[in-house]
Structure 1
Amino acid sequence: MRAYRRVLTTLVAFSVFSATVLAAVTALVLVPTAAHAAGPVPHYLMTAFTNSSESNMYVYDSPNASTFSLVRANAYTPPSGLIRDPSVLRHTDGYYYLVYTTNWTGDTIGFARSADTVSWTFLRNVTVGLNGATGSTWAPEWFRDSDGSVHVIFSASATGTAGQFRPYRITATDTALSSWSAPVALGIPANYIDSFVVKVGSTYHNFLKNETTKYIEHATATSLTGPWSFTGTGNWAGWGSGLEGPALTRLPDGRWRIYFDNYTGRRYYHADSSDLATFSAKVEMTGLSGTARHFTVLREDVGDTTAVPTGNRSLRSANFPDRHLRHRSNVAYVDPLNASSPLADRRDATFTVGAGLAGGGCHSFQSVNLPGYYLRHYNMRLVLQRDDGSAIFKGDATFCGRAGLAGGGTTSFESYNLPGRYLRHYNYEMRLDLKASGSVFASDASFMVTSPLA
């Protein structure tokens, strides 16, 4: 028994030491992650390059589309070239996709992908086939049409950086976003750049920079390839000139918010509109002005309708219905359990489901027989530990309910502070893994939230 206690004491000490090291590393890499909660309320993901670097992308997040917190600096660096003007899309496969400007001259645009917005993988450079090495291909922006088709709208010049830019689109020809159509002109006159398109009803709205006057202008059409009618020209919105990089997102009350870069003064602003025809005065974005450049903002409503029953509950595996999630020696597994199992084992499989320690409309799981101890992820395993009151612990011990990946009334649980990773069992051990396609992962990551076993 004494030897066992010495081993246990050593393991606990090592665990505390490891947790401290992990906390320090996390603090260096992930600046407050609480703002990046993919919880039931909308949150806003932003990707940007900065005044200090055209080769490193920064990721920010906001609960209100106004105040953004840094999620990760230098989140992605392409294998070569630049990462100017990064635009982000969440695709139907659950992954986030980037498209970006690769160089000042040339006819390529770059693509990268991420499951969690923190770690990005280069996919490919796509040659759009316009103007060759002597031209310029800039400012690609995602646009998903109401029919589900996915497009990239970019600006191209035949004579390089000083040329007459005009907007084009390419269209994805497969669901993997790996194959693209030939470029099609949008039908906008020459010397316009930075097109950002949204669609309301049957009307396409294009906000773009007039390279002659340096004003952001507004055009509308009933087809993505025009003809376009300019409804806002010159200083129509009262924002002044020297602006570029417009990007729009939708606010919870239905209004639109436009962001734009005053590149001459190195300041960033936003303004709001209920009809895309008239906008409020510009408001400077404190904390981002002078830092972030030409970004897009993606609104996410993930998990809006998924409710998780609270109180004392047990979690039964979807694909092994004789097994329940339980803690054993402070590590989580799915073990065979039922109403006839020993009481001690059934209590290990019963948790008080309550409001998430980190908030965000998510949940935490407290042991019923070890009050103050919660399930949390640690080195991607699910373990039971005492709440130490730290922000890292609260984030690690908070999980957001999602509609079950396996369907059938099940529930899946996404990590609050590592979005894109889900609780799943593997060899009957509970762990936190990146969401993957296929029925095996979906079944391993789905549970029935049942009445308590004890």
Structure 2
Amino acid sequence: MTPHPAAPSRRALLRALAAAPASAALLGGAPGLLGSALAAAPPSGSATRYTIVPFLDSDDGTVDVYQSDDATDFRLLRASAYTPPAGRIRDASVLRHTDGHYYVTYTTRTWQDTSTTIGFARSADRVGWTFLYDYTVPLPGLSRAWAPEWFVDGDGSVHLVVSCSTTDNEWIFTPYLMRAADSALTAWTSPVALVGIGANHIDTFIVRTGSTYHAFPKNETTKYIEYATASHLAGPYTIRRTGDWAGWGGYREGPALVQLDNGTWRMFFDGYGDGTYYYSDSRDTFATWTAPAALPAISGRARHFSVVKETVAGGPSLARNVTRSFRSANYPTRSWQQQSSLLNLPVVSGSSTAAQRQAATFTVVAGLADGGGFSFRDASGAYLRHRDFRARFDVNDGTRTFAEDATFVLRAGTTAGSVRFESYNHPGHYLRHYAYQLRVERANGTDLFRQDSSFLPVTAWA
């Protein structure tokens, strides 16, 4: 929750701007939830759904709701979905509770004001929200309670991690843990400081894998997101990584993690120093991370969010162990066709030669790397895979790399009956035609990209 867009010390800025109007600066961060869903491609007829509830870069009095099927291409579900009856709404962390409702908890005041409460609201459908209550955090001498983050433990217990400061030093924040004392989420245990993370850390986000708790707090002195582990939720935590250990750079805050369908952990964080919202992926349980990439479409608009991941009904379906051809959704005379091992998008019709029609016919099979995904085989037995991000057909060499290169996750397309194919090992990248060639490219949040990556499974040409 550092002032945006300025990047100097939080304490120096806040003290200097204490008399400034509420519009002078915005604070950001990101709330959290245990990534407990099993990592697997969604079953046919189902879909993965990610929901975020960010406040706006231009307005901390309301929140939007966005959803995505791939945690990359978020689309607006409802603008200004919830406005609290009083105060502000910042740093909204979202939870799907066991009662079937969605809950957000949030910071209730601007960064200038004393803020001893956190807010709660509930929704049955993620679109309409009802204010529940403001809760005064019972911490002696409390000055500010910021960025409450949900955490659900393996036993189902619901917790909040709240960044709190006291009046003796109102800009030095420490993470505190509270547990829900009832299933209605209206009563909470007394806050207890997380042992081992220490003061001057904010926006702590926790996930659990096996018996290990992984915490990602922002160090307010260095302005880097750190990494700590513990064998108990309350600690003691050992800080394992400091500085620019993950290659994300400085002046990053509000980490929020979710586990994608292929098991990759994705972190979202607010680059408040440059006005960009980023994501970065780890496939080795947080040891290494991909270079941070700007989140398409909502980067520069959304601030401070966490993610709810669900598997929902009504997703696309595609039969396996059958032959199909695939027609472009936005260039309906053109179809997938293998040409010298490469996959292109030429015009294919009933007047095409038998060889051309055969080259546009493929057998759909279960994904080589994940049976919930899909792979495609030509008449010779070679598989469609990406190499250097170009779509091509090669003989299966039996390696894990090949299996992942040749596996795609089914997503809904832009027109009725159309589907999109997301790369299994490069989440957020899709089979997309460009200059009538098929490539695997990163989604950019545009309608054109969605159309170029949508295809209709049709009766096989051969």
TM range (shorter): 0.5 to 0.7
Give the letter aligned to residue 283 of structure 1.
A
Specify the alignment match of 1:260 in structure 2: 269
Specify the alignment match of 1:286 in structure 2: 296
Find the partner of 2:97 among 91, 116, 124: 91
Q: How does 1:313-352 map to 2 (within 5 A)?
A: none
TM-score (norm 1): 0.57
- Secondary structure of 1:296's counterpart equals coil
> Does residue 219 of the first structure (1) align with residue 234 of the second (2)?
no
Specify the alignment match of 1:119 in structure 2: 128
Find the partner of 1:242 among 251, 255, 260: 251
Extract unaligned runs of 5+ from structure 2.
Answer: 1-44, 318-412, 417-462
8 Å CA contact 1:131, 1:157 repeated in 2: no
Q: Distance in 2 between matches of 1:130 and 1:53?
A: 29
Q: What do residues 105-135 of structure 1 show as CA deviations (whole Å, max 9, x unaligned)?
A: 2211100000000000000111111255x61
Q: Distance in 2 between matches of 1:286 and 1:176?
A: 36
Q: Distance in 2 between matches of 1:300 and 1:288?
A: 21
Q: Distance in 1 between matches of 2:172 and 2:122?
A: 31
Q: Distance in 2 between matches of 1:54 and 1:160?
A: 27
- Secondary structure of 1:89's counterpart equals strand
Give the letter aligned to residue 51 of structure 1.
D
Specify the alignment match of 1:146 in structure 2: 154
Specify the alignment match of 1:49 in structure 2: 55
Deviation at 1:159, TM superposition (A): 3.3
Q: How does 1:365-384 map to 2 (within 5 A)?
A: none
TM-score (norm 2): 0.56
> Does residue 64 of the first structure (1) align with residue 66 of the second (2)?
no
Q: Distance in 1 between matches of 2:144 and 2:232?
A: 26
> Does residue 295 of the first structure (1) align with residue 329 of the second (2)?
no
Give the letter aligned to residue 280 of structure 1.
T
Q: Distance in 1 between matches of 2:312 and 2:232?
A: 30
Structure index of larger Rg: 1
Q: Distance in 2 between matches of 1:303 and 1:128?
A: 38
Deviation at 1:202, TM superposition (A): 0.2
Specify the alignment match of 2:106 in structure 1: 100
Find the partner of 1:193 among 162, 179, 202: 202
Deviation at 1:49, TM superposition (A): 0.5
Give the letter aligned to residue 297 of structure 2.
G
Specify the alignment match of 2:408 in structure 1: none
Q: Distance in 2 between matches of 1:271 and 1:160?
A: 37
Specify the alignment match of 1:180 in structure 2: 188
> Does residue 202 of the first structure (1) align with residue 201 of the second (2)?
no
Deviation at 1:286, TM superposition (A): 2.1
Give the letter aligned to residue 165 of structure 1.
F
Find the partner of 1:135 among 140, 143, 149: 143
Higher helix content, 1 or 2 = 1
The number of residue pairs the alignment matches comes to 272
8 Å CA contact 1:107, 1:131 repeated in 2: no
Query: More deviation in 84-93 or 276-285?
Result: 276-285
8 Å CA contact 2:268, 2:280 repeated in 1: yes
Query: More deviation in 156-165 or 102-111?
Result: 156-165
Q: Distance in 1 between matches of 2:240 and 2:180?
A: 30
Give the root-mean-square deviation of aligned CA atoms: 2.4
Q: Distance in 2 between matches of 1:178 and 1:162?
A: 27
Q: Distance in 2 between matches of 1:286 and 1:162?
A: 35
Change (3 A) 1:236 1:151: same
Give the letter aligned to residue 245 of structure 2.
W
Give the letter aligned to residue 65 of structure 2.
V
- Secondary structure of 1:92's counterpart equals coil
Q: Distance in 2 between matches of 1:165 and 1:118?
A: 33
Q: Distance in 1 between matches of 2:313 and 2:72?
A: 21
Q: What do residues 391-435 of structure 1 show as CA deviations (whole Å, max 9, x unaligned)?
A: 9xx8xxxxxxxxxxxxxxxxxxxxxxxxxxxxxxxxxxxxxxxxx
8 Å CA contact 1:136, 1:161 repeated in 2: no
- Secondary structure of 2:306's counterpart equals strand
Change (3 A) 1:241 1:287: same
Deviation at 1:298, TM superposition (A): 1.1
Q: Which runs of 4+ in 1 moved over 3 A?
A: 159-162, 302-305
Specify the alignment match of 2:321 in structure 1: none
Find the partner of 2:178 among 170, 195, 201: 170
Q: Distance in 1 between matches of 2:65 and 2:217?
A: 24
Change (3 A) 1:278 1:82: same
Change (3 A) 1:197 1:102: same
Q: Distance in 1 between matches of 2:211 and 2:159?
A: 17
8 Å CA contact 1:149, 1:172 repeated in 2: yes
8 Å CA contact 1:40, 1:301 repeated in 2: yes
Give the letter aligned to residue 61 of structure 1.
Q
The alignment-based identity, stated in percent, is 54
Q: Distance in 1 between matches of 2:191 and 2:198?
A: 16
